[in-house]
């Protein structure tokens, strides 16, 4: 069984708690400093409030942008429970990978969120899950779920691949380009196989996609080293 890092519920709750604490702390400290250094706080209360709330809003925007399920968890518990179930179903499939593989879930890499990252001797795979409902189709070279564009999902998945490529090139002097994978919504399977260089793989076929019919392109030492770096740098 693969090494699994990241729980969809515990990890998100910890992240949201930390970010909410940061927002409250920044708000209190910033407001306190502005009041302390103001000649007449009462006449400047509007300006102080506006600046403080603006800074808090920016922090909140970045937080929820990197953790899209956070808003769902806070304001739509039923939908959050469904989303967690969908994510756990994918993780169960990735658990079927061999013990030579590392699987990271709900990882944030330099503000870009990764649903699932697999590091294996057969390559590195960046996996983004389709959360929007609707039949998948390509319109104007852009993947859609019904009428909803999945351009952000696809673009960010590719960006993470290129970012990891740069990190590995600098840290290990090796040229490794991760493979982008889009996992369709369980309720809307598709016959589309590839879009813009990305493979569309159903959850139940992910383990086979990683391991079967591929040559080992990364040494076990490098697999362990890259996984240890990711674990220390982005999950600590």
Q: Based on the number of CB atoms within 10 Å of its own CB, is 57 exposed (0-12), middle (13-18) or buried (19 or more)? A: exposed
pLDDT of residue 93: 93
| Per-residue model confidence as pLDDT tens for the chain (236 residues) | 899 998 765 556 666 676 677 778 878 888 888 888 877 877 887 887 888 888 878 877 766 666 666 667 777 777 777 777 888 889 999 999 999 999 999 888 887 888 999 999 999 999 999 988 899 999 998 999 999 999 999 999 999 999 999 999 999 999 999 999 999 998 888 889 999 999 999 999 999 999 988 899 999 999 999 999 999 998 86
For 68, phi then psi, to 5°, come to -60, -25
pLDDT of residue 146: 93
pLDDT of residue 48: 79
Sequence spans of domains, the chain: 98-234
Which contacts of 95-98 are long-range, i.e. CB under 8 A and separated by 24 or more positions?
95/1, 95/2, 95/4, 96/1, 96/2, 96/207, 97/1, 97/2, 97/207, 97/210, 97/211, 98/1, 98/2, 98/211
Tokens read off for 51: 């600046």
**Closest to 181 measured CA to CA, from 163, 164, 214, 203:** 203
| Cβ 127 vs Cβ 181: under 8 Å | yes
Tokens read off for 200: 């569309």
Distance, C-alpha 62 to centroid of its chain: 13
CA atoms within 13 A of residue 211's CA, in its CB half-sphere: 16
Tokens read off for 71: 């808003």
pLDDT of residue 25: 85
Question: Which pTM was predicted?
Answer: 0.78
C-alpha 109/C-alpha 160 separation (Å) is 8
Instruction: Mark out the alpha helices in the chain (DSSP H runs).
Output: 10-36, 45-66, 69-75, 77-94, 151-172, 206-211, 220-234
Q: What is the Cα Rg of the chain in Å?
A: 21
> Running DSSP on this structure, what letter comes out for residue 205?
G
Structural element, H or E, at residue 112: strand 112-120
């Amino acid at each position: 069984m693969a090494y699994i890092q990241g729980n969809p519920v515990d990890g998100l709750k910890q992240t949201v708690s930390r970010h909410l604490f940061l927002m409250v702390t920044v708000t209190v400290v910033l407001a306190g400093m502005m009041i302390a250094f103001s000649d007449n706080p009462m006449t400047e209360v509007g300006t102080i409030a506006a600046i403080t709330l603006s800074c808090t809003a920016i922090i909140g925007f970045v937080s929820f942008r990197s953790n899209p399920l956070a808003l769902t968890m806070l304001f739509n518990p039923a939908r959050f429970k469904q989303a967690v179930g969908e994510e756990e179903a994918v993780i169960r499939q990735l658990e079927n990978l061999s013990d030579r593989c590392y699987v990271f879930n709900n990882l944030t890499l330099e503000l870009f969120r990764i649903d699932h990252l697999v590091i294996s001797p057969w390559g590195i795979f960046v996996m983004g899950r389709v959360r929007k409902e609707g039949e998948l189709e390509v319109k104007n070279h852009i993947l859609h779920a019904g009428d909803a564009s999945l351009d952000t999902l696809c673009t960010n998945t590719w960006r993470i691949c290129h970012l990891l490529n740069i990190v590995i090139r600098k840290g290990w002097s090796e040229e490794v380009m991760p493979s982008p994978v889009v996992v369709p919504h369980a309720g809307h399977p598709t016959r589309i196989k590839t879009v813009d260089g990305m493979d569309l793989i159903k959850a139940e076929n992910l383990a086979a996609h990683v391991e079967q019919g591929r040559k080992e392109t990364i040494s076990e030492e490098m697999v362990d080293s890259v996984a240890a770096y990711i674990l220390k740098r982005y999950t600590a």
